[in-house]
Chain A
Amino acid sequence: MITLTHFLVVSACIFCIGLYAVLAKRNTIMILVGIELMINAAILNFVAFGKYDKLNYAGQVFALFAIVLAAAAVAVGLAIILNVYRSFKTINPKNIHELKD
């Protein structure tokens, strides 16, 4: 029997993996992948909780909107990273530091 707890544990794990990728990876595309994992963990949560919200289906609707918005944000992010690669010839955030105090 798969209960709500299983979903929550899995989504917490995915969120932590995504957070680790964001903090530790030295490649901007991998950071975007990490962000995507974090968003998907939240979407899993929404759908799992939505099972108990029989009347409004707010969880499912939120999940749909979140998927669309995440796709839009990633499209913009990739375009900007392409632009960064053109001017810096690298996408390692460590090496991109023209602006600082």
Chain B
Amino acid sequence: MNVSIPNILDQIIASVPLFKPELALIIGFIVCIFTALFLEKRWRNSTFIGCIVTLGFSLYYLIGQLSTTATGFSGMWLVDTWSTYARLVVLCSTVIIAIFLQQQHSKNNGDVYSILIAATLGMHVLSSTSHWLMAFIGIEMVSIASYILVGYFSQNKTQSEAAMKYVLFGSVCAAVMLYGLSLVYGLTGNLDFQSAEHLQGLMDAPEAIITLALLFVFAGIGFKLSFVPFHVWSPDVYQGAPTAITAFLSTIPKIGAIILFARLYQSWSSTAFYFSELSTWFITIVAIVTMLVGNLAALRQQDVKRMMAYSSIGHTGLLLMAVFAYQDLNSYLLFYIVAYVLMNLATFIFIDQIEQQTGSTSLLSYTGLGKKMPILFTAFTLVAISLIGIPPTVGFVAKLMVFTSTFSVFQSSGDTGALLLLIIGALTSAISLFFYFKIPLYAFLRNSDQPVILKKQFGVLLVIAYILTVLVILFGIFPNWVMQVLA
């Protein structure tokens, strides 16, 4: 290995073009801090415009990278289809979240945009690395930014309580993960989890220590993905946070974490040694339990945001199943991510719009609203159908792809774990029918005796939500449009 300083500098300078979308975000982050400090008082929305321009620049540079496959910064930065498309989805959904924040929290919102950009940067780091140092920095960046976002608008008890639970649980998980990483580093002497040295070190290590180290590392990733048993924070935080922030939490942090986990699983599960078996068993058991817990607990929720929290736990189980099944083909996992993000963003915009009208997120407050807001509730029902996975929606296609590939894994290997995953996946999809259909049930089939006075509302957000709904249907009928781009 060549360690002379000019050589290293040359390498770094040569890798800078790969880092352009992130550089745009870093510059935008600093610019947004200054506009929030100095310009926001004179020109309202100047920070919002700065944030959108930053995301636009980042998107522009990212589109330039679409066909690149390269590594930079001595193997710490990976640019491939996974990372590029994941970052594309992250950026597009961040734009929607920024508009969401601007529409619903128009006062005192200056710093929120710079924190949003920092979280996006963390997601970019997570989705394009196979180095533990970068992965840990990415997870911490996203976590710290999300703690601030949850607590930023806190005015009442529930919001500050949600922020506190999030910060304590997140910090403990990060500390446990760091300890696990230190053990992994000690066992292997190398921090790149795809390198041969790293795998060799894991093969030679004693079983007891490796079990401990791997489970500790999975704890940190599990917190970001909120799979069982690290899911306990998510219902409370989803319910307590403002709806715009909940929309952020339920979509964007999961994209980067699932990409990291998929890379990790892909490189660790390929050998015949103890740690591969352990990761395969871990992902199978956790996916099964996560689907069961998420969907069963959602059945008895009366608050829509809490119900969506459990529903997104259930979807995490399916994402894990996708990671389990598609080790070589990456487009299916990305398709599921796109479908999940579309559905969740649309759902939370609808929940927020109804909250603006009735001031409540309880399911009971939806009683009889279907006749007063027919278009909104029709679109909401369509998105709910997609979340269940009924044709002709994108949710159906995504689930179908996951199930067929798990089935082919079962056929080729005869693995009981794959069969169990299939059975539980199908079962929980049927269960999810009951709680998602509570929404149209209350809205259309029950009559309320309390008259609700509706404000006339036709905002940008509603338009975005309708576009997302149309996309949910269109991608469900023509999944090839997305698949051709991703393949």
Could you say which residues of chain A place their CB within 8 Å of the CB of B163? Answer: 80, 83-84
Give, as a whole number of angstroms, the nearest-CB distance from B181 to chain A.
7
In the assembly, what is the distance between CA of A83 and CA of B178, in Å? 28
Q: Mark B163-196, 1 if CB is under 8 A from A, else 0.
A: 1110110111011101101110110011100000
Contact among B3, B164, B175, B191 for A35, CB-based, below 8 A: B175
Could you say which residues of chain A place their CB within 8 Å of the CB of B147? Answer: 73, 76-77, 80
Binds A, one of B97-105, B132-140, B348-356: B132-140
Query: Would you call A81 and B133 a contact (CB within 8 A)?
Result: no
Query: Would you call B168 and A46 a contact (CB within 8 A)?
Result: no
Could you say which residues of chain B place their CB within 8 Å of the CB of A8? Answer: 186
Could you say which residues of chain A place their CB within 8 Å of the CB of B133? Answer: 58, 61-62, 65
Contact among A49, A73, A83 for B182, CB-based, below 8 A: A49
Query: Would you call B161 and A42 a contact (CB within 8 A)?
Result: no
In the assembly, what is the distance between CA of A51 and CA of B144, in Å? 30
Q: Mark B47-82, 1 if CB is under 8 A from A, else 0.
A: 000000000000000000000000000000000000
Contact among B171, B239, B300 for A77, CB-based, below 8 A: B171
Could you say which residues of chain A place their CB within 8 Å of the CB of B301? Answer: 101
Query: Would you call B183 and A45 a contact (CB within 8 A)?
Result: yes
Query: Would you call A35 and B172 a contact (CB within 8 A)?
Result: yes
In the assembly, what is the distance between CA of A62 and CA of B133, in Å? 6
Could you say which residues of chain A place their CB within 8 Å of the CB of B151? Answer: 79-80, 83
- Check A45/B179 contact, CB under 8 A, given A65-B137, A76-B147, A79-B151: yes
In the assembly, what is the distance between CA of A38 and CA of B178, in Å? 9
Query: Would you call A62 and B175 a contact (CB within 8 A)?
Result: no
Decide if the interface of chain A is mainly helix, strand, loop or mixed.
Answer: helix
Query: Would you call A98 and B189 a contact (CB within 8 A)?
Result: no
Could you say which residues of chain A place their CB within 8 Å of the CB of B154? Answer: 83, 87
- Check A62/B191 contact, CB under 8 A, given A38-B175, A101-B235: yes
Could you say which residues of chain A place their CB within 8 Å of the CB of B171? Answer: 32, 35, 73-74, 77
Q: For B190, give the chain A residue with the smallest CB separation.
A: A58
B416 at the interface (CB under 8 A from A): no
A72 at the interface (CB under 8 A from B): yes
Could you say which residues of chain A place their CB within 8 Å of the CB of B156? Answer: 87
Q: For A96, give the chain B residue with the smallest CB separation.
A: B161
B272 at the interface (CB under 8 A from A): no
Query: Would you call A38 and B186 a contact (CB within 8 A)?
Result: no
Could you say which residues of chain B place their CB within 8 Å of the CB of A96? Answer: 161, 164
Query: Would you call B175 and A46 a contact (CB within 8 A)?
Result: no
In the assembly, what is the distance between CA of A66 and CA of B186, in Å? 16
Interface centre among B132, B182, B186 (most CB of A within 10 A): B182
Q: What bracket does the count of chain A residues touching chain B fall in?
A: 35 or more
Q: What bracket does the count of chain B residues touching chain A fall in?
A: 35 or more
In the assembly, what is the distance between CA of A42 and CA of B108, in Å? 39
Could you say which residues of chain B place their CB within 8 Å of the CB of A39? Answer: 174-175, 178
Please provide the chain B residues from 141 to 157 with a CB less than 8 Å away from any CB of chain A in the complex. Answer: 143-144, 147-148, 151, 154, 156-157
Could you say which residues of chain B place their CB within 8 Å of the CB of A76? Answer: 144, 147-148, 167
Give, as a whole number of angstroms, the nearest-CB distance from A67 to chain B.
11
Could you say which residues of chain A place their CB within 8 Å of the CB of B157? Answer: 87-88, 98
In the assembly, what is the distance between CA of A86 and CA of B300, in Å? 32
Q: For A83, give the chain B residue with the smallest CB separation.
A: B160
Contact among A31, A59, A65 for B136, CB-based, below 8 A: A65
- Check A66/B172 contact, CB under 8 A, given A98-B158, A99-B236, A100-B236: no
Q: Mark B236-272, 1 if CB is under 8 A from A, else 0.
A: 1001100000000000000000000000000000000
Query: Would you call A99 and B162 a contact (CB within 8 A)?
Result: yes
A52 at the interface (CB under 8 A from B): yes
Q: For B3, give the chain A residue with the smallest CB separation.
A: A55
Could you say which residues of chain B place their CB within 8 Å of the CB of A79? Answer: 151
Give, as a whole number of angstroms, the nearest-CB distance from A39 to chain B.
5
Give, as a whole number of angstroms, the nearest-CB distance from A93 to chain B.
7
Interface centre among A66, A72, A88 (most CB of B within 10 A): A66
Could you say which residues of chain B place their CB within 8 Å of the CB of A31? Answer: 168
Contact among B158, B170, B175 for A99, CB-based, below 8 A: B158
Q: For B239, give the chain A residue with the smallest CB separation.
A: A99
In the assembly, what is the distance between CA of A100 and CA of B165, in Å? 12
Could you say which residues of chain A place their CB within 8 Å of the CB of B306? Answer: 101
B1 at the interface (CB under 8 A from A): yes
Query: Would you call B189 and A84 a contact (CB within 8 A)?
Result: no
Q: For B133, give the chain A residue with the smallest CB separation.
A: A62
**In the complex, given contacts A35-B171, A38-B178, what are 8 additional A-B residue pairs having Cβ atoms less than 8 angstroms apart?**
A35-B175, A62-B136, A65-B137, A69-B137, A73-B140, A73-B144, A98-B240, A99-B165
Q: List 27 A-B contacts (CB under 8 A).
A: A8-B186, A11-B182, A28-B168, A38-B179, A45-B186, A48-B186, A49-B182, A49-B185, A49-B189, A65-B133, A69-B144, A69-B174, A73-B140, A73-B167, A76-B167, A77-B171, A80-B160, A83-B163, A86-B160, A87-B160, A88-B157, A96-B164, A97-B161, A98-B157, A98-B158, A99-B239, A101-B306
Q: Which 10 pairs of residues, A with B, have the shortest CB-CB distance?
A: A45-B182, A38-B175, A42-B178, A49-B186, A42-B179, A99-B236, A69-B140, A42-B182, A35-B171, A83-B160
Chain B residues within 8 Å of A, Cβ to Cβ: 1, 3, 132-133, 136-137, 140, 143-144, 147-148, 151, 154, 156-158, 160-165, 167-168, 170-172, 174-176, 178-179, 181-183, 185-186, 189-191, 235-236, 239-240, 297, 300-301, 306
